A = this chain, B = another copy of it.
Amino acid sequence: MNESLISRRTLGVTFTADGATVRVWAPLAETLSIRLCQQDLVIPLQNDGSYWQTTTDQLQSGDTYTFVLNNVERSDPASLSQPEGVHGPSQAIDTARFVWTDANWANIPLDEYLMYELHTGTFSPEGTFAGIEAKLDYFVELGINAIELMPVAQFPGTRNWGYDGVCPYAVQNSYGGAAGLQQLVDACHRKGLAVILDVVYNHMGPEGNHFTDYGPYFTNKHRTPWGDALNFDDTDSDNVRRYFVENVLMWFRDFHIDALRLDAVHAIHDESDLHILREIKQYTDLLMQETGRQHYLIIESDQNETRFIQPIASDGYGMDAQWNDEFHHALRVTAGGERSGYYADYEGIRHLAKSYRDAYVYDGTYMARRAKIVGKSTASHPGQQFVVFSQNHDQIGNRMLGERPSQLVSFSMQKLMAGAVMSSPFLPMLFMGEEWGELNPFLYFVSHSDPSLIEAVRQGRKREFAAFQTSVEAPDPQAEQTFDQSKLMWDRLTQEPHQTLFRYYQTLLALRKQSSLRHPNRESVAVVMDEVKQTLTLIRQHQPDASLVC
């Protein structure tokens, strides 16, 4: 491990007393200069192996710049800001300028996390970090204690879930940029809220993606649904790994992010002895030793393979927790209506009971859709390693019409599902608006500028839902209306039955904090299933004297 990475970012532009240091990994560059846009000045970088660098007093925080790479102008792969979007110049940002006021903040113990996933662009009327900040008292009133931001890395245009980001170090300009994010995190910490950031280390978005001009960021040794895999184990992969390790450290150190949610790690391909997730954990541990702050790594994985969440000391990758989609699938099937696609592998109440007991539904059992034995036993893993929910951005947004459960199941069923999540011996997560039964959909939306890409996304979406085709057309992902329709309608909170549901969520969250439910203790969970009556009784206990029957 390279301990010098802990104290400061080395990639991109960083500021010290000597001025700005510029550093970029570009083994494919023959020549490389930085062009300072305001000064209209071009400074050649010195080649130091596969890295290029220089130090200059001409570049100030806030200035824009580009790299001139083999005579072509490109943004910085480690750009912290793209004020004119992914196609524009990069902007130097001195992250140390932000004055933090959260010195007294200590991360919440993971087993007490009560999470709330939100999409910055559609959560508030403003669609910005400031819009979220205006709602912090609301979160406290609701009773959650950790917000999870869908990815904020710069993406094309202003409308995107965030998984098309192409500047993993840059904070989306239309959300409020780097300073806006720092401001939000600081404000959250003052209110006692932790911040989880969703990061995408399994692919980069297609538009504005110039990584291959710089170096072998990708390898054709492995393939993902988005094309060639990021290069974590092929030629020159050490520097790609370092690029992502520095990214992790940046969020924790320079943005005070409390936890990362790593998107779809099953699409991160790495056959080297030291898996990249394990290396990320090692560096995170080193950072935590250095700063005394606690940070968590939470993965999304569809593999049901416990090596991801096994501690490093037991030869695992050391991830703190993982999303457990299977609890969701079993719950939704139990709630009725869902049978097709990935739901086909899930029976209702029997699988829900299994998930309460065993976390994974498939834990060494044959799964028809994959036509193989899937999963491992989670017996030795505590409840806090599994994040559960009755809905999330994917489960809603990957439906053709983006319907939330509020549009699919009865009011009582919504309450029952909320209770099912909250009473589980796992970590509960809400999706923005579910607490008042928001009726607006959460649709898939983009705002690309490349016409052929727009068409490809449209067609892809149509193909995906060809089987579902009814009289209704799949909404156009590129249309502004699709985005607008997906915004939360805060007015509903003042109306019934939304208000009642909100109070129900408040009560549930309070109960979770004050009762035996507080501790996601898997050892003392009793699940009694009645298949005839289709009921499930859950007995949760933490201390011998206090048990709760749900």
Q: Which residues of A contact B (CB under 8 A)?
A: 27, 50, 220-223, 235-239, 269-273, 305-307, 315, 369-373, 376
Contacts and interface: CB of A to CB of B under 8 A. Distances in A.
Contact of A271 (B50, B235, B239, B271): B271
A27 B272 CA distance: 32
Contact of A372 (B236, B269, B369, B373): B236
A378 B346 CA distance: 46
A27 B271 contact: no
A293 to B, nearest CB: 29
Contacts of A27: 371
28 contacts: A50-B371, A220-B223, A221-B222, A221-B223, A221-B269, A222-B222, A222-B223, A222-B269, A235-B369, A235-B370, A235-B371, A235-B372, A236-B370, A236-B371, A236-B372, A237-B372, A238-B371, A238-B372, A238-B373, A239-B371, A239-B372, A270-B271, A271-B271, A273-B305, A273-B306, A273-B307, A273-B376, A315-B315
A410 B445 CA distance: 71
A540 B529 CA distance: 69
A272 B375 CA distance: 10
User: Quick one: which of A220, A273, A307, A373 has the most chain B CB within 10 A?
Assistant: A273
Contact of A223 (B223, B270, B372): B223
A50 B221 CA distance: 29
A273 B315 CA distance: 12
Contacts of A221: 222-223, 269
A542 to B, nearest CB: 31
Contacts of A236: 370-372
A369 B27 CA distance: 13
User: Quick one: which of A27, A270, A305, A306 has the most chain B CB within 10 A?
Assistant: A305
Nearest to A267: B221
Contacts of A270: 271
Contacts of A307: 273
Nearest to A270: B271
B269 A271 contact: yes
Contacts of A371: 27, 50, 235-236, 238-239
Given A222-B223, A235-B372, A236-B372, 11 more contacts: A27-B371, A221-B222, A221-B269, A238-B371, A238-B372, A238-B373, A269-B271, A272-B305, A273-B305, A273-B307, A315-B315
Nearest to A236: B371
A238 B222 CA distance: 20
A307 B275 CA distance: 13
User: Quick one: which of A237, A269, A306, A372 has the most chain B CB within 10 A?
Assistant: A372
A136 B270 CA distance: 45
A270 B233 CA distance: 13
Contacts of A235: 369-372
Nearest to A315: B315
A383 B369 CA distance: 45
A376 B272 CA distance: 11
A48 to B, nearest CB: 14
A238 B27 CA distance: 40
Contacts of A372: 235-239
Contacts of A373: 238
A183 to B, nearest CB: 39
A202 to B, nearest CB: 12
Pairs A-B, 7 closest by C-beta atoms: A236-B371, A238-B372, A273-B305, A235-B370, A222-B222, A315-B315, A220-B223
